[in-house]
Amino acid sequence: MRKVITYGTFDLLHVGHINLLRRAKEVGDYLIVAISSDEFNALKDKKAYYSFEQRKAILEAVRYVDEVIPEQKWEQKVEDVQDYDIDVFVMGDDWKGEFDFLKYYCEVVYLPRTVGISTTQIKKDLNKAHNG
């Protein structure tokens, strides 16, 4: 069985997220999604609309996702790859090259982002609609 892992905040789930999860699952048999904890988001100066538990519940309902785990720190990726016996690490291509150090432990795949959608853009559009 080929195990795949990906990481993200996965706030305001949208078609870009679904495309990433579907394509990540196609790379293997079992998909683990590590989502940033609320505390880790705070360290990154990032605020999610949904809490960790809410984002976890939403992702667990997505048919491509087999398991959801918390991401607590940047450095845990090597530990996760080893602890979960990961074969493939997947991220969007906006991170291309950033995680090449993991090639020592597993295959690293950067998937193309879905053009025209992002959580950041959704938040900007909602703020503009609300304030404008």
What does the alpha-carbon distance between residue 89 and residue 57 come to, in Å, rounded to a whole number? 22
Q: Which of 3, 25, 46, 123 is catalytic?
A: 46
Report the half-sphere exposure of 71 (CA within 13 A, side-chain side): 24
Structure tokens at 19: 């495309």
44 is an active site residue: yes
DSSP-assigned letter for residue 129:
H
Tokens standing for residue 114: 């879905």
Q: Which of 3, 44, 47, 96 is catalytic?
A: 44
Instruction: Give the active site residues.
Output: 44, 46
